[in-house]
Structure 1
C-alpha cells in the first residue's frame, strides 16, 4: 500500500498513549501519595498506606512520561512536516490550551473543597493556564507541559528557517546533546565532574532546554525519519544510541526517586516498560494497515481513547487523589477504590475530550486565524508552507 493510501491514524499509538497515561495515574494514586517524604506520616497520606504492598508493581509508573515524550517526538515530526510556522503554532495551541483551560478549571473545585488557600489556588490556576515553566501548577504532573512546549519551540524554529528538510540534522544534535549528558553520568559517577553532571541531570533549567529528556523526543523523531527516508547506518546507530541514553536516564531517575523517598527502587520494571513501548511503536507502525482492516469502524473508538489521555493526565491528580482518599477512609477495598477512581477520571476525560474541548477549539480557531491575517507583510513567510522532509523509502506509510 502506498503512503497516500495508508490510514492517517496509527491505532497502536493511541493505545500506547492510554497505557502511558494509566501508568502515571496508577503511580500517583497508589504509590506517590504515601511515599512522598513531604507528606509521609500525615493524615493525607494515611489512607494510601493500603497500597504499600503494591510498591514493586507501581513505584516506577512515572516511566509513562518518557513514553509520552517518545510518542510526541514521532507525532510532532509528522505533523510539522511541510507546514507553515503559523499553521504549526495554531495546531499546537489548539491541541494544548483548551484542554489545560478546561481541566485546570475543573481542578479548582476539589482543590478548594480540600481547603487549599484561595490566593495560592488562584496563583496555581493562573500559572497553569499559561503553562508557566516553573509553576506552581494545580497538579505536579503539569511539569511535563513546559518540556513539551520546548520541543514544539525547537520545531517552530526549524520551520521558521524553512529547513524542515534538514530535520534529521536537528534531531541528531538534540539527541546527541542529551546522549552526551547520560554518557557523562556513567563516566563521572563522583568527584567535581560528577557533581556538575548530576546538577545538569537533575536541575530544572537543563530540563527546560531538553538536555535531560531530549533523547526521548529524538527517538520518536528518528523513528519517523526512518519511516520517511528509509534505514541507513547513521540513522540506525543514532536511534540505538538515543534509546540507550533513555535507558540511562530511566535508571538515573529511579535512583533519584528512591533516594528522594528513602525507599528502595529498582529501575528494571521502568526500563522493561520503556523497551516494550518502543517495540510496540515499531509493531504499531508495521501493522497499522492490518489493524485498521481488523478494527474497521472501531478504530474511531480507539481514536477517542487516544484523545482522552490528555485530559486524563491533567485530571488524574486533582480528581483522583481526593476521590481515592475518600473511598479508602470509608473502608472501600483498595483495588475497588482504584478502579472506581480511574473510571470516574476516565468519564470526566471522555466528556472533556469529546464534548467540551471541541467547543473551545471551535471558538478559538477563528481567532487564531484572524491573528494570522494581521501579520505584517514582512512576516508573510510565516504563513507559507516550508520545504518538507521528503520520503524516499518505498511503501513507507505516514502516521
Structure 2
C-alpha cells in the first residue's frame, strides 16, 4: 500500500551538477538584461544607461527561455515514479518559501524607497502572497514574477496528467497534442486564454526539456526524437512573439538570425549538461550555486534598480552595476542557505503530515468489524 502525502526520499544519487550551473547562468543572463538594457530603456528605471553594453545585454532575456527548458527536464525528472499529490507538494515546497521571502524583502525595500516609478501598497503585497497578483487586480511586486505564474501553470498541467495517468502512459502523445495546440494558437488563433492555459508561447521550451529527460531516462526512440525536433522548430517561431513585443516597446529587438543561433545554443547547453553530467564533479559549492539562482532571479530587478541609482553618484555607474551584481549573489546565497532551505524543510514536514492525515480518512479501515451472520 502506498504511503499518502510526502514521500521522504534520500538525496538523489543521479544528481546532475551541470544543471545547477546552467540555472545560475540563466539567472545571470536575466540580471544582465535588466541592468544593462531594460533598466534604462522605455521605462527609465535607471537614471543612467549602459549603451556600450546594451547590444550584449539585450540578449539576456533569453535566460528565461533557458529556465523553461531546464524546468521541463527537472519537472519530468521530479514526476518520475511520483503520484500527483506527492508531486504537487514537492513543487509547492520548492517554489513558495523562496518566493514569499524574496517578495516580502522586495516589497519592504520598495515601500521604504517610496519612488513613484515603483509604487507599492499593502493590498498589492496581500495579492502577491497568492503568486497570482493580477487575478486580484494588483501588479506584481517585481516584474519577473510573470514567469513564475507560467511555471505554476506548467506544474498544474503535470499534476493533472499524473492524477489521470496520462503522464505515465501517454507522455509522448500528450506532448504531441500540446505542441499542436501551441503552434495552432501562435500561428493562427492568437488567443490570450490559450496562451495562458496552455502556455503556448513557451510550451515548446517546456516540452523540449521533458523530451530531453525522456530520452535520457528511457533511451532514444524515433517518436521522442521527432517531437524534440518539432519542439525546437516551433520554439524558433514562438521566439518572434517577444521579438515583436520588444520592437514595439523599445524600438529595437534581437534579430531573427541571432534568435535562431541563441535557440540552438540553449538547446545544446541543456543536452550538453546532461551528456557531460559525469564530467563535472559535484561539490559542496555546486548545490549552493544552483540554489542561489532562484533568490537571485526573484530579488535582483527592482532592488537592483534602487541600489544602482543610489550608488551611481558615489562610485560611478559601472562600479555600481557590477557591485550590485556581486551584492545580489551574496544576498541570494544567504537567503537560500539561512532562510529558504529551513523554510522548505518545515513546510515539507507540515504539508506531508497534513496530506497524510487528510487522505488517510479515505483509506478503507483495516480489520473492520464484520457484520454478524
Q: Normalised by the size of structure 1, how large is the TM-score? A: 0.81
User: How many angstroms apart in 1 are the aligned matches of 2:198 and 2:167?
Assistant: 20
Contact map agreement 2:124 2:141 (CA 8 A) in 1: yes
Contact map agreement 1:139 1:318 (CA 8 A) in 2: yes
User: How many angstroms apart in 1 are the aligned matches of 2:193 and 2:27?
Assistant: 23
Alpha-carbon offset, residue 160 of structure 1: 0.9
Aligned to 1:145: 148
How far does the alpha carbon of each residue in 1:328-357 deviate from its partner, in whole angstroms, 9 at most, with x for none? 2335142x2221111111111101111111
Which stretches in structure 2 are left out of the alignment for 5+ residues? 1-11, 365-373
CA 1:361–1:205 in 2, change beyond 3 Å: closer, same or farther?
same
Aligned to 1:253: 242
| 1:179 correspondence with 2:168 | no
User: How many angstroms apart in 2 are the aligned matches of 1:260 and 1:204?
Assistant: 22
Question: What is the aligned counterpart of 1:337 among 310, 317, 320?
Answer: 320
Aligned to 1:13: 19
| 1:23 correspondence with 2:22 | no
Contact map agreement 1:100 1:128 (CA 8 A) in 2: no
Contact map agreement 1:128 1:137 (CA 8 A) in 2: yes
| 1:353 correspondence with 2:336 | yes
| Mapping of residues 173-322 of structure 1, within 5 Å | 173-182=177-186, 184=187, 197=189, 199-200=190-191, 203=192, 206-292=195-281, 299-322=283-306
Aligned to 1:397: none
Aligned to 2:368: none
CA 1:343–1:270 in 2, change beyond 3 Å: closer, same or farther?
farther
Contact map agreement 1:17 1:68 (CA 8 A) in 2: yes
CA 1:273–1:380 in 2, change beyond 3 Å: closer, same or farther?
farther
Alpha-carbon offset, residue 147 of structure 1: 0.5
Aligned to 1:387: none
Contact map agreement 1:222 1:239 (CA 8 A) in 2: yes
| 1:131 correspondence with 2:131 | yes
User: How many angstroms apart in 1 are the aligned matches of 2:326 and 2:310?
Assistant: 15
Alpha-carbon offset, residue 7 of structure 1: 4.1
More helix as a share of residues: 1
The alignment's C-alpha RMSD in Å is 2.4
User: How many angstroms apart in 2 are the aligned matches of 1:363 and 1:224?
Assistant: 30
Secondary structure of the residue aligned to 1:374 is helix
Aligned to 2:3: none
Secondary structure of the residue aligned to 1:330 is helix
When the two structures are aligned, how many residues end up with a matched partner? 348
Aligned to 1:154: 157
Contact map agreement 1:319 1:345 (CA 8 A) in 2: no
Aligned to 1:168: 172
Contact map agreement 1:14 1:306 (CA 8 A) in 2: yes
Alpha-carbon offset, residue 180 of structure 1: 3.4
Alpha-carbon offset, residue 116 of structure 1: 5.2
Which stretches in structure 1 are left out of the alignment for 5+ residues? 1-5, 185-192, 293-297, 382-399
User: How many angstroms apart in 2 are the aligned matches of 1:212 and 1:282?
Assistant: 21
User: How many angstroms apart in 1 are the aligned matches of 2:124 and 2:46?
Assistant: 22
How far does the alpha carbon of each residue in 1:25-71 deviate from its partner, in whole angstroms, 9 at most, with x for none? 111111112212xx34xxx4432x2x022221111311111110011
User: How many angstroms apart in 2 are the aligned matches of 1:341 and 1:329?
Assistant: 14
| 1:77 correspondence with 2:79 | no
Structure possessing the higher relative contact order (Cα contacts under 8 Å, 6 or more residues apart): 1
